[in-house]
Amino acid sequence: MKSAAFDLLQPADIGSALHSLENPTLYSKVLGGGQSLGPMLNLRLAQPDVLVNLAKVPEMRMATQDETSLLLGAGVTHALIEDGLVPDVTKGLMPFVAGNIAYRAIRNRGTLGGSLAHADPAADWVNTMMLLGASIQITGRVQEAGASDYSLSQRTVDAQNFMQGPFTTALADHEILTAVRIRKLSASARWGYYKFCRKTGEFAEAIGGVLSDPEKGIYRLLIGATDGVPLVINDAHALINSSDHAAIASILRDAGMGEDPYAFKMHHTALSRAIAMHNQMT
């Protein structure tokens, strides 16, 4: 099948992109890399009147650092991260994750922001940004009382609060996810990330994530590719160090994953392997 007809707009800045989304009589959608939206258009699951392509907005591909964090534009592709063409402040976690998303053709176009905005529970960036405790920058437009012009408004949402359910996020209509702020990990930080997929390039059936950064008091576990929002345990010091299988099983049961033995086994193994990977990291 082919998509229903739509108009394609190619704004050159965020203000124009936001303006293009605001026509109340038209159903408008943002286009990132098109790697999730494209199939939905072709299957006619989405039939927008207008697509607002962000590819020509320079800010969407920025990468700027300060002492404590890296700000990555939402239009940075998986491939740019995989290839180290944007700085890495995560001791290799982000390039590792990027290199295991789908296939190279998808990684060439798919974007960090598009993946987060799409909010598939098995999406690697959704899970990784929650594990890293990143924050999501969202831009909209406001018109102050009495003013004739609009100005840009920005708000920030913690990645752990951004996804609200499968394919549902904190983004309001007419807002654009513009950037992601990732805090720099310390030299002593360690991570583990393990994803189960039936074959390379597929979405995960289970994701286990571990991050420790003793200098910053971070000891975090993540159980991802669940039926809903990934589960983050922010105070997991004892569990990370002991890698106690019974304790992992108990966490999974508490998270309501005891019902389906197949899913339970996948998540248990993913998390155990992520912990082992973390513990082997120097």
Ligand X SMILES: Cc1cc2nc3c(=O)[nH]c(=O)nc-3n(C[C@H](O)[C@H](O)[C@H](O)COP(=O)(O)OP(=O)(O)OC[C@H]3O[C@@H](n4cnc5c(N)ncnc54)[C@H](O)[C@@H]3O)c2cc1C
CB of 212 to ligand X, least distance (A): 23
Distance, in Å, from the CA atom of 93 to the CA atom of 132, rounded to the nearest integer, reads 9
Measure the N-to-C terminal CA separation of the chain; round to a whole number of Å: 50
According to CB under 6 A, which one of 20, 21, 28, 35 is a site residue for ligand X?
Answer: 35
Q: Does 139 bind ligand X (CB under 6 A)?
A: no
In one letter, which amino acid is 132?
L
| Alpha carbons within 13 A on the beta-carbon side of 35 | 25
According to CB under 6 A, which one of 14, 18, 21, 31 is a site residue for ligand X?
Answer: 31
Distance, in Å, from the CA atom of 95 to the CA atom of 13, rounded to the nearest integer, reads 28
Site for ligand X in 98-137 (CB under 6 A): 101-102, 106, 110-111, 113-115, 117-118, 123-125
CB of 146 to ligand X, least distance (A): 30
Taking CA atoms, 178 is separated from 91, 144, 166, in Å, by 24, 22, 21
For ligand X (CB under 6 A), the number of binding residues is 31
For ligand X, the closer CB: 74 or 270: 74
Site for ligand X in 147-186 (CB under 6 A): 171, 176-177
Element (H, E) at 272: helix 261-280
Write each residue from 43 to 62 as x if it is in contact with ligand X (CB under 6 A), else as -, in one continuous string: -----------x--------
Distance, in Å, from the CA atom of 206 to the CA atom of 274, rounded to the nearest integer, reads 11
Write each residue from 62 to 81 as x if it is in contact with ligand X (CB under 6 A), else as -, in one continuous string: ------------x-------
- What does 96-115 look like in DSSP terms, one character per residue? HHHHTSS-HHHHHH-BHHHH
The residues of the shown chain that bind ligand X, judged by CB under 6 A, are 29-37, 39, 54, 74, 101-102, 106, 110-111, 113-115, 117-118, 123-125, 171, 176-177, 201-203
